[in-house]
Structure 1
Amino acid sequence: MKLSLVATLYRSAEFVVEFHLRISQAAQQLVGDDYEIVFVNDGSPDSSLELAAQLSEVDYHVVVVDLSRNFGHHHAMMTGLRHARGERVFLIDSDLEEDPAWLLSFSEQMEREKVDVVYGVQKQRKGKYFERWTGRLFYKLFRFLSGLEVPDNIVVARLMSRRYVDALTQHDERELFMAGLWVITGFEQRAQFIIKRSRDETTYTLRKKVAQLVNSITAFSSAPLVGIFGVGCAIFLLSAIYTCFLVINWLFLGSPPSGYTSLMASIWLLGGLVIAFVGVVGIYLAKVYSEVKHRPNTIVRNIYRQTGGRSVE
């Protein structure tokens, strides 16, 4: 099979039919009839699964992988890539913010530059000022703490070679951050500037964005732990210097240390630092706990194909 098209479904009912039509047109223009469309239903609470299953009954190109519950966007993407069989794999969101026609320009660039990956990057991040500002801050923090050169405003849409997908799916982490995995997998990758359509609503709330920031940094960087060690050493050094000053002041000047306010401020400062540092260590410990249990990243409930029946994994 020449081409696999992979998309996840979550609250996607209003987009599924149009997405299927547009991605099919792009695929047929590129490879004729030799392609598949892999939809991964990530526990969508709307009718996304029913609509995708109906498409699989009338279009033999469509395969629907139905997860047993919502596992998260990144886990769903990895599941779709593991089910893709094509020589090339085009990963894209199904909400039509990303244009299915990008497949053609991505393929042209891949052929021209002989690379393994062509991915989309927004010239300017979509959304309002707060969304753009937090996006820039996220990537700056991630690059600073992890050392990985993840481009600003990268999008999901990307065309990948078979060998790259095989290498990418070897990662068996429980805590996934796909943008980081895309970078550390290596191979020759090139960006293509695109314009992403903006919708008013988003399934990524502020709470989810903060959780994603914490997860991505702790998954790819030990810098917070190193920072804790550095701050601890600095506090110890300052405390030692101040203690020497107090002893010298008491021995030679005869004025004992005093000051309830400075004492309480020091206690609160050190107490807050200790609690914060224990929290950071706890996050890393929780990740170790999650990895050693080695639970499956996703559980597939059903796979829908044109036969009209259901095969269970």
Structure 2
Amino acid sequence: MKISVLTTLYYSENYIQEFYNRTLACLQKIQCSYEFVFVDDGSPDRSLEKAIAIAQKDSNVKVIELSRNFGHHPALLTALQNATGDWIFLIDSDLEEAPELLLTYWQNLEQNSDFDVIYGVQEKRKGNWFEKVSGKVYYKLFGLISNINYPADTLTARLMSRKYVQALLQFPEREMDLWCIFQMAGFRQKAIIVNKGFKGKSTYTLKRKLQIALNTITSVSHRPLYFVFYLGLLITLFALGYITWIIYQYFAYDEKIEGWTSLAVSIWAIGGLVVFSIGIVGIYLAKIFLEIKQRPRSIIRNVYEKDSIKIKDDSLES
């Protein structure tokens, strides 16, 4: 029986050695054969160099260097495509998710071998008050507008069977949210409540989080469409705010409302809603545009393994 440990590298130079040591200790306790697959997602620090150093000492370590930064989800998919184990342990390398979760998941799997996936759910969402509140709002809205049972506050860390991973890789779309695919693939899954660490600073900015929430990992050609979307949203919010102010003036100060006022508000509100709707349609057209192009999710530049630091296939795409 073989377990594949998959992770991505992005600003990971301070964590990768400890991550490897702690995960290896867990694998030794399970007493199984193993492999590590590190995917360098265009990290600007020395993550790749440190991962290669580990691979030179351990023949069970493979380091995949992507040609540039493609994003977290494409990098995770690249790792999944290169896993060869009977069970696949997917986890982030920044140590916010403890490598020891592998033992917890494995113990749960031994108690009930019918499960295909064991994954973690945060007991308490990390971050400041804004991140906690916005996270709750996002999951509530997502549940209302989709037919996917999307569990809130899930971790990257999950233990998956080979047949489940093969099912994940059957989804061909380029514009995807991997966490949605995790649910859409089905199979028997078990959630475990766990604690997640917090290193204090995330590589995900507010802007980046908004892009992920809207699933807008897009090219430059999408920007005009998204600009129209946000412009329509801004106009709508302004109109609603103005309506609220007029109502307040009327009831609080008994001010007379001129005819032109209601007309102006109506024009702004309707105009904002129209532009907002066009923006939404534009987003869907943009996604169709990218799906038709069938661009690769990621491109592998180098593959590094022990005693072989040469490029295996410079044209390999995933």
The corresponding residue for 1:305 is: 305
The corresponding residue for 2:78 is: 79
Contact 1:75/1:176 (CA < 8 Å) preserved in 2?
no
Deviation at 1:263, TM superposition (A): 2.5
Deviation at 1:260, TM superposition (A): 2.8
Contact 1:3/1:31 (CA < 8 Å) preserved in 2?
no
- CA RMSD, 1 decimal: 1.3
The corresponding residue for 2:226 is: none
Deviation at 1:150, TM superposition (A): 1.4
User: What amino acid does structure 1 have at the position aligned with 2:15?
Assistant: F
Is the aligned partner of 1:49 residue 2:48?
yes
User: What amino acid does structure 2 have at the position aligned with 1:3?
Assistant: I
Structural mapping, 1:160-199, within 5 Å: 160-199=160-199
User: What amino acid does structure 2 have at the position aligned with 1:2?
Assistant: K
The farther-off stretch of 292-301 and 131-140 is 131-140
Q: Distance in 2 between matches of 1:124 and 1:193?
A: 9
Determine helix, strand or coil for the equivalent of 2:73: helix
User: What amino acid does structure 2 have at the position aligned with 1:90?
Assistant: F
The corresponding residue for 1:101 is: 100
CA displacement, residues 87-131 of structure 1 (integer Å, 9 cap, x when unaligned): 000000000001111111101112212200000011111122222
Q: Distance in 2 between matches of 1:278 and 1:116?
A: 42
Q: Distance in 2 between matches of 1:260 and 1:302?
A: 66
Determine helix, strand or coil for the equivalent of 1:215: coil
Determine helix, strand or coil for the equivalent of 2:306: coil
The corresponding residue for 1:149 is: 149
CA displacement, residues 273-292 of structure 1 (integer Å, 9 cap, x when unaligned): 11111111000100000100
The corresponding residue for 2:131 is: 131
CA displacement, residues 11-70 of structure 1 (integer Å, 9 cap, x when unaligned): 1010011111111111121133x1000000000000000110111111111101110000
Q: Distance in 2 between matches of 1:11 and 1:180?
A: 26
TM-score, scaled to structure 1 = 0.84
The corresponding residue for 1:64 is: 63
Determine what percentage of the aligned residue pairs are the same residue: 46
Larger Rg, first or second structure (1 or 2): 1
CA displacement, residues 125-178 of structure 1 (integer Å, 9 cap, x when unaligned): 112222211221121111111121111211100000000000011112211211
The farther-off stretch of 181-190 and 136-145 is 136-145
User: What amino acid does structure 2 have at the position aligned with 1:94?
Assistant: S
Q: Distance in 1 between matches of 2:168 and 2:115?
A: 15
Q: Distance in 2 between matches of 1:156 and 1:10?
A: 15
User: What amino acid does structure 2 have at the position aligned with 1:92?
Assistant: I
The count of corresponding residues between Structure 1 and Structure 2 is 271
Deviation at 1:210, TM superposition (A): 0.9
Q: Distance in 2 between matches of 1:5 and 1:153?
A: 22
User: What amino acid does structure 2 have at the position aligned with 1:293?
Assistant: K
The corresponding residue for 1:273 is: 273
User: What amino acid does structure 2 have at the position aligned with 1:260?
Assistant: W
Deviation at 1:265, TM superposition (A): 2.2
Deviation at 1:204, TM superposition (A): 0.9
Deviation at 1:272, TM superposition (A): 1.1
Structural mapping, 1:248-287, within 5 Å: 259-287=259-287
Q: Distance in 2 between matches of 1:87 and 1:109?
A: 17
Deviation at 1:302, TM superposition (A): 0.5
Q: Distance in 1 between matches of 2:15 and 2:193?
A: 24
Note the residue ranges of structure 2 that are not aligned, 5 or more in a row. 217-257
Deviation at 1:6, TM superposition (A): 0.2
Q: Distance in 1 between matches of 2:278 and 2:31?
A: 55
Q: Distance in 1 between matches of 2:271 and 2:76?
A: 42
The farther-off stretch of 95-104 and 145-154 is 145-154
Note the residue ranges of structure 1 that are not aligned, 5 or more in a row. 217-257
The corresponding residue for 1:223 is: none
Q: Distance in 1 between matches of 2:6 and 2:127?
A: 25
Q: Distance in 2 between matches of 1:269 and 1:134?
A: 25
Q: Distance in 2 between matches of 1:84 and 1:193?
A: 26
The corresponding residue for 2:16 is: 16
Q: Distance in 2 between matches of 1:27 and 1:125?
A: 28
Contact 1:2/1:31 (CA < 8 Å) preserved in 2?
no
User: What amino acid does structure 1 have at the position aligned with 2:278?
Assistant: V
User: What amino acid does structure 2 have at the position aligned with 1:163?
Assistant: K
User: What amino acid does structure 2 have at the position aligned with 1:286?
Assistant: A
The corresponding residue for 2:241 is: none
The corresponding residue for 2:255 is: none
Determine helix, strand or coil for the equivalent of 2:96: coil
The runs of at least 4 aligned residues of structure 1 exceeding 4 Å deviation read none
Contact 1:16/1:52 (CA < 8 Å) preserved in 2?
yes
Determine helix, strand or coil for the equivalent of 1:190: strand
